[in-house]
Amino acid sequence: ESIDEIMGAADGHVEEVARDWLAKDGKRWRPFLTVAAFQAVRDDQDASMPEEIKKIALAVECFHKASLIHDDIEDEDHERYGEATLHAREGLAVALNAGDLLIGEGYRLVGECKVDAEIKAQMLQVAAEGQRELCRGQGAELTWAHDPKPLKTTQVIKIFEQKTAPAFGVALKLGAAFAGKLPEVEEALDAYSNALGVAYQIRDDMDDLSEDAGDNKLETFRPSVLLAKALELAKGEDKAVLTRLWSHDADCDIFRSAVREMIHNLEADEKCLLLLETYKETAIRSL
């Protein structure tokens, strides 16, 4: 109901599909960061929250949920968090349209905010630059998937910086821009979101290969810092298996449990944990 109050009633099937996807469970980290950034830098810390911040936070969630729809299509994933992805449920055309609609809704919500023209221009620029950078990162991953080959840890992190960090940057900078403080804090927020995005993705990679992820065959995967680090440390047969795995070799018949054991024996998991902590520290220090 609160979504409809802010955005207006849904009109038509695709809009209903998009709203349903927008309202689905999630951590809501990105809109939370928007509100937190606004509160942290605004002049009057004790003032009540303006109604317009709801539009900006919802715009951030629109951008995020649209990116999930498009990612699932591009990665050919049919499940997300144990549920059917939108294109698996509604079909490719409807899912694409719903994702595009959510991007448009995000810009509409930002554009409708009652703020000075200069601040509104900053906010729209932040959203556009973030969208561009995210697409470039996803494009780099898609290019790799077309011709998969082993990547170094630094190359994987570069993809993370392009694909994951921009979403956090948009969330934070929209909040700061709405407070009228973006020029003063933009450099710090860029550094923070970059480190936060990489740390988030390293943790996601480790979760993908945890025991909770099951023991199915590991046939295809996204660029992974854990597997990149394992390959850098491997020798002999382990190196040969990981190279074939990175190359999406159809004859490489290996289960997640075997990969987990290999990673553990190579101590790649420990090194990635250290890398995770380094990026978390970098994020904190940047503020």
- Indicate the SS3 state at residue 264: helix
For range 42-67, the mean pLDDT:
96
User: CA 83, CA 77: separation in Å to the nearest integer?
Assistant: 11
Shared domain for 263 and 158, answered yes or no, is yes
Higher pLDDT, 81 or 66: 66
283: in domain: yes
74: in domain: yes
Digit-coded pLDDT (tens) for 204-221: 999 888 776 555 656 567
Residue 114, number of CB atoms within 10 A of its CB: 9
Query: What pLDDT is recorded for position 101?
Result: 98
| Residues ≥6 apart with Cβ < 8 Å to 251 | 244
pLDDT band at 249 (very low <50, low <70, confident <90, very high): confident
Cβ 198 vs Cβ 189: under 8 Å: no
Which amino acid belongs to residue 21?
W
Shared domain for 18 and 106, answered yes or no, is yes
User: Which string of DSSP letters, residue by residue, matches 143-205?
Assistant: HHHHS-----HHHHHHHHHHHTHHHHHHHHHHHHHHTT-HHHHHHHHHHHHHHHHHHHHHHHH
Digit-coded pLDDT (tens) for 153-201: 999 999 999 989 999 999 999 999 999 999 999 999 999 999 999 999 9
User: CA 93, CA 97: separation in Å to the nearest integer?
Assistant: 6
With a cut of 90, say whether residue 81 has pLDDT above it: no
36: in domain: yes
Q: Distance between the two ends of the chain, CA-based, in angstroms?
A: 36
Which CATH number goes with the domain that contains 31?
1.10.600.10
Average model confidence (pLDDT) across the chain: 93
146: in domain: no
41: in domain: yes
Shared domain for 98 and 161, answered yes or no, is no
Q: Structural domain of residue 270, as residue ranges?
A: 151-169+180-287
Domain count for the chain, please give it: 2
